[in-house]
């Protein structure tokens, strides 16, 4: 399915490359990227496991809140 | 393998990797990404050991695992950025004083971001693989739109706003207090 072309995302990956001092194409797996950033920061990153149902509810809550905020803007 | 439409390598390099890099920069790693990537790599290894006709289904399996990983990453980034945007917008003073753009532009860009996020969330509720792939692109668009919106604000002012606000409050109340004391002293002096 290629019906939804993505906008150019100018910020994705840039901050990581600056922080780690390496280009993204120098990494082969997500685990290598995690290792590189943890090494740079000198600490372990927060590991998150996603619950699809919680994510869905959170998204719906954000949308609801956004509509209210927009109304009060 | 490079000319196939569902190319797991291409999807990973162009879509998943930059988004996951951003999430890692934000200090978050997702268990599911490493897990799904490992499954994709296993499927690719199986495909490489077969002739091209029989390898097809393993390439497909690998592709959909990468799409799944991309879905998790894109959704998480969009949720994080939309929460960050709402945190700014829920403070009227912050929205007013930290914006570097006219109010109309702030409103317009926020509407764009919200529209993209709504479309992505709606798509995410349908769980066919191709719909999930479409949702990845939509969440990526939503994340970009929120980032565009957040970039309408001065990052240093956003960071320091609570201190600025506190300092201002102390200054206003401090002046009020001094005026009150002076008024009391003057009144006492007049009554003497």
Q: A6 pLDDT exceeds 50?
A: no
- Residue with more model confidence, A66 or B127: A66
CA distance B152 to chain A (A): 14
The residue with tokens 């191709």 is B130
Quick one: pLDDT at residue B78?
96
* pLDDT of amino acid B166: 63
Q: Is A65 on the interface with B (CB under 8 A)?
A: yes
Inter-chain touch B25–A15, beta carbons under 8 Å: yes
pLDDT digits (tens, 9 = 90+) for A44-65: 998 999 998 999 999 999 999 9
Check if B104 contacts A (Cβ < 8 Å). no
| Mean pLDDT, residues B106-128 taken together | 92
Share of chain B above pLDDT 70, in %: 90
Q: Which two tokens stand for residue B162?
A: 């609570």
**Chain B contact present for A53, CB below 8 A:** no
B66 inside 8 A of chain A by CB: no
Residue B15 scores a pLDDT above 60? yes
Most A-contacting residue of B29, B80, B104, B136 (CB-CB within 10 A), to test interface: B29
Distance from CA of A35 to the nearest CA of B (A): 10
pLDDT at A40: 94
Return the number of CB contacts < 8 Å for A and B: 150
In chain A, what is the greatest distance between 2 CA atoms, to the nearest angstrom? 47
pLDDT higher at B95 or B175: B95
pLDDT at B164: 67
Put simply, whether B24 touches A (Cβ < 8 Å) is yes
Which residue from B37, B110, B140 is facing A70, i.e. has the nearest CB? B110
Quickly list DSSP for chain B: -TT-SS-HHHHIIIIIHHHHHHHHHTTEEEHHHHHHHHHHHHHHHHHHTS-HHHHHHHHHHHHHHHHHHHHHHHHHHHHHHHHHHHHHHT-HHHHHHHBSS-HHHHHHHHHHHHHHHHHHHHHHTS-SHHHHHHHHHHHHHHHHHHHHHHTTB-HHHHHHHHHHHHHHHHHHHHHHHHHHHHHHHHHHHHH-
Q: What is the pLDDT of residue B107?
A: 94
Closest CB to A9: pick one of B20, B95, B144.
B144
* Distance in Å, alpha carbon of A3 to nearest chain B alpha carbon: 8
* Identity of the residue in B29, B89, B117 whose CB atom sits nearest the CB atom of A34: B29
Is the pLDDT confidence value at A5 over 70? no
Q: Is the pLDDT of residue A19 over 90?
A: yes
Residues of B in contact with A59 (CB under 8 A): 75, 78-79, 117, 121, 124
- The complex's ipTM works out to 0.85
What integer best gives the mean pLDDT of chain B?
88
Q: How confident is the model at residue B14 (pLDDT cuts 50, 70, 90)?
A: very high
pLDDT at B167: 63
């Amino acid at each position: 399915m290629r019906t939804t072309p993505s906008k150019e995302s100018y910020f994705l990956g840039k901050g990581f490359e600056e922080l780690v001092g390496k280009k993204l194409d120098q990494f082969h797996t997500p685990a290598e990227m995690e290792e590189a950033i943890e090494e740079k920061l000198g600490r372990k990153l927060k590991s998150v496991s996603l619950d699809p149902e919680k994510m869905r509810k959170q998204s719906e809550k954000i949308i609801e809140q956004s509509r209210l905020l927009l109304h009060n803007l | 393998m490079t000319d196939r439409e569902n190319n797991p390598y291409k999807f990973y390099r162009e879509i998943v990797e930059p988004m996951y890099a951003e999430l890692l920069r934000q200090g978050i790693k997702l268990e599911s990404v490493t897990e799904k990537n490992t499954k994709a790599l296993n499927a690719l290894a199986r495909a490489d050991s077969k002739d091209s006709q029989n390898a097809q289904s393993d390439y497909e399996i690998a592709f959909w695992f990468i799409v799944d990983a991309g879905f998790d990453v894109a959704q998480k980034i969009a949720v994080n950025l939309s929460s960050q945007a709402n945190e700014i917008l829920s403070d009227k003073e912050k929205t007013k004083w930290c914006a570097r753009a006219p109010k109309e532009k702030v409103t317009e860009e926020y509407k764009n971001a919200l529209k993209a996020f709504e479309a992505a969330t709606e798509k995410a509720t349908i769980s066919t693989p191709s719909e999930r792939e479409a949702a990845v692109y939509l969440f990526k668009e939503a994340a970009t739109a929120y980032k565009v919106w957040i970039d309408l604000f001065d990052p240093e002012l956003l960071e320091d706003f609570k201190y600025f606000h506190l300092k201002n409050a102390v200054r206003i109340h401090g002046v009020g207090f001094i005026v009150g004391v002076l008024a009391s002293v003057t009144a006492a002096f007049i009554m003497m």
